[in-house]
Structure 1
Amino acid sequence: MGPWCTPWLWLCLHGVLQAQALVPLPVQPPLSQFHSEQFQGAWFILGLAGNAFKKQDRPLLNPYTAIFELKNNTHFEVLNSMIRGKHCDTWSYLLMPTPQPARFTVDHGGPSIDTEHVQVVDTNYTSFALMLSHRQAPGQPVIRVSLLGRTWTLPPGTPDKFIRLSKAQGLMEDNIVFLVTGRGRGRGQWSWQTQCSCMTAPPQP
């Protein structure tokens, strides 16, 4: 099942995919180098921003995990898991590398008329990552920014980086959602907690 099928199709069924017109997607400067072997492993998706939803859609979304498994030292197989009610939904896709570092095309595992490009904009590999997705859907592009963490604690300033990157794509504050049940500052860091029983935090890197 493709990466848009579960969380995004679900939003569509609830009538929230009322995407608004945006300026063309600015080109983000690529990372000078990207270490796939360091990026692989488990990540938590702690924040999402996109032109397909607003903050009032928050009850429809939960934090979820993404496992990036490096295959043949070339591409990633990505397995996502999200708690929805009493069920744990999963969906997967492939990230196929391009000649540019940290840039990929998405293989949904079936015929698709949409072309989706994914870029790792920033990461330190051990605690956070920012990813930008651009899907050319019929009518207008669909933009998504994802905030990833290895654990529920992010380095200071990371949420602000996520917000700035989102706004650089022409997104508004109402398009930015933190997928968490609680948020607070403590000892200079941001921490999140969740009640998702099927999601186990990976060990500290």
Structure 2
Amino acid sequence: MKKALFFIESILTAVLFAGCASTPDTPEQHSIENAREHKSLFDDFQKQSAKIVESGGIAAVGIAESRSLEIALSKAKMNARRELAQMLETKIESLQKSFTEETGLAADAEILSQFSSTAKSITSQQIRGSAAKELKYEAGSETITACALMELNPKIILDQFEKEEQLYTRFRASKAYEELDKEIKEYEAYKKEQQGLFSAQ
């Protein structure tokens, strides 16, 4: 009798272990795994973006999900461009504040208007429709997650200022110009370094 009970217990134990081994991943487990993959992808692009910004450039990352790869990539680029435009606007506002505080032109409506038009011109001419520096995507069980990295050379701000002769003449004599010029040189040095690393590979 004891042998029979032991035999039955052994069979039940084996069945339980087999059931545990063959239990499929739950939706929650899939979600956790997908989230880790997406975070890794996003973090990689964020590190690249931070490096570009630290080197004087302007960069932003966009992320999007869709069942369609084409739509996911398109939305990711759109989100990155939106973020890039906001960063550019903040950058120009910072230059404007520094410039007007130094020159005492904070109440000059024409100067303020020229700064504003510079931001709008760059957004419409340089950012809208621009190509991504890098695109990546990962396919999940149901959707595709795409990431886009967008990058701008800060020199485009100076190039746009040059079109506003009155503004550019005054701006060139300010510390704000020196700050921007320094960032441009740092960014160009960074790009040369990156090109050198790429050529060496």
**Considering the TM-score relative to the shorter chain, is it more than 0.5?**
no
Q: TM-score, normalised by structure 2?
A: 0.23
Name the structure where helix makes up a greater proportion of residues.
2
Q: TM-score, normalised by structure 1?
A: 0.22
- Which of the two has higher C-alpha Rg? 2
Name the structure where strand makes up a greater proportion of residues.
1
